[in-house]
Amino acid sequence: MKKFNFPLTPKKIASKLDCTTNFTKKVKLNNVTELHEANEHSVCFFENPKFMDALRETKAGLIFVSKDFDKSLKPNANLLLIDKPYIHFVMLVRTWLNLDNPKMKKSRIDNSAKIASSAFLGKNIVLGSNCVIGENVNIGDDTIIESNCVIQDDVRIGKNCHIFPNTTIYEDCVLKNNIIIHAGCVIGADGFGYIFHNGIHNKIPQVGNVIIEDDVEIGANSAIDRATLGSTIIGKGTKIDNLVQVGHNCKIDENSILCAQTGLAGSTEIGKTVYLAGQVGVAGHLKIDDGAMIGAQSGVTNDVPKDAKLFGSPAIEAGLQKRIMVSEKYLPEVVKEYRKRQKAKDKK
C-alpha cells in the first residue's frame, strides 16, 4: 500500500468533491490500497461487482462507491458516494501525492550537479545528484530533474515537469509544460538514417530535434529520436508506455496512447486519440488517422483510416481477423478431409 506523511480525514476529502456521504466513524487516513489489503486508515474504491467479497471483508477507513450503491452492504463503513468512483479516487491520489511530495516543497540543487554558466533555472527547481545541465539550457519553474540526468546544450524544458533518474535529453530538444519522463529515457538521439553508397552505409546527419507538447508522459526506457530535418513531435496529452521506440520525424497528435514495446518507423503520422496496443509495429511513412485502434502485436503496413479497428500481422479489420483466428483451429480437419477426397479422386 502507498502510505502518505500528510494525513487526511473523510470530511476533508468530501469537502472538495460533489458527493454525498455516509460517515459512521472518525478516522485519520494515511494510505491508499486495494480492498483486501486495507486497514482502518486506508482509502479504497469499489465499482466492479466481482470484488463484492473483498468489499464485505475490507477494513477500509473510507470507500469511494457509486451514487446508487446499496449502503446496507456496508452499513458500518465510511462511504463516499459519487459518480465514477475510480476516476475520483485516482484524482485524490494524484492530489495527495502533490501534497505529500517533499521535493515539491522547496528548491534543492545537489552539490554534485554540474550547471553551465549560461543555463537558466526557474524558481523552485530540484536537481538531483550528478545531473549535468548544458550551455543555454532553460528550465521552467517547479521542475524536478532527478539523479544522473544529462540535459545537453540548448534544451528548453517548461514548468512543472518531472524527469526521473538516468534520462538523457540531447541538444536542441524542446519539452513544454507538465511533462513526466520516467527513468532511462533517451530524448533526441539520432534517427536511424543511412545511405548505402560506395559499398558502405553512410550516416545521414540528423540535425532536427524533438518537440514534446504539454501534459505528455513517457514511460521508462523509451526512446524518441530526433528528426533528420525539422522536428519529431509528440502531441499534447499523449501517453507513451515503457520500452517504446519513436523514429525520426514521427508526428503524434493529441491524446494518443502507445503501449509497451510499440515501435514507429521514421516519418509515421499518428492522429488524435489513436490507441496502439503492446508490441505494435508500424512501417515508415504511414498515416494512422484519428480514433484508430490497433490490437496487440499487430504489424501495420498500410495507411489506417479514421476510427478503424485493426488487428493482426499484417493488420486487417479486427472482426475479420478474429474470425480467421477462430477458423484456423479447424484447418487440420479441413486439410485431412481435403487429402482424403484427393486420394479418392486419384483412384478414379
Q: Which of 41, 88, 182, 248 is catalytic?
A: 248
CA pair distance 300, 314, nearest whole angstrom:
6
Let me know: does 45 contact 7? Beta carbons within 8 Å: no
Peptide bond into 314 cis (omega under 30): yes
| Residue 109 main-chain phi, psi, to 5 deg | -120, 115
Q: Which of 20, 1, 25, 31 is nearest to 85 (CA)?
A: 20
All residues at 6 or more sequence positions from 6 whose CB lies less than 8 Å from its CB, including other chains = 96, 99, 100
Residue 308, SS3? coil
Distances, alpha carbon 103 to alpha carbons 109, 130, 290, 326, in Å: 11, 17, 38, 53
**Alpha helices, DSSP H, located in the chain:** 10-14, 52-57, 85-100, 318-328, 331-347
Residue 186 DSSP SS3:
strand
Residue 248 appears among annotated catalytic residues:
yes
Distance, in Å, from the CA atom of 315 to the CA atom of 329, rounded to the nearest integer, reads 20
Cα distances (angstroms) measured from residue 329 to each of 210, 326, 335: 46, 6, 11
Rounded CA gap, 180 and 185, in Å?
A: 11
Q: And the C-alpha cell for 332? A: 487440420
Give the active site residues. 248
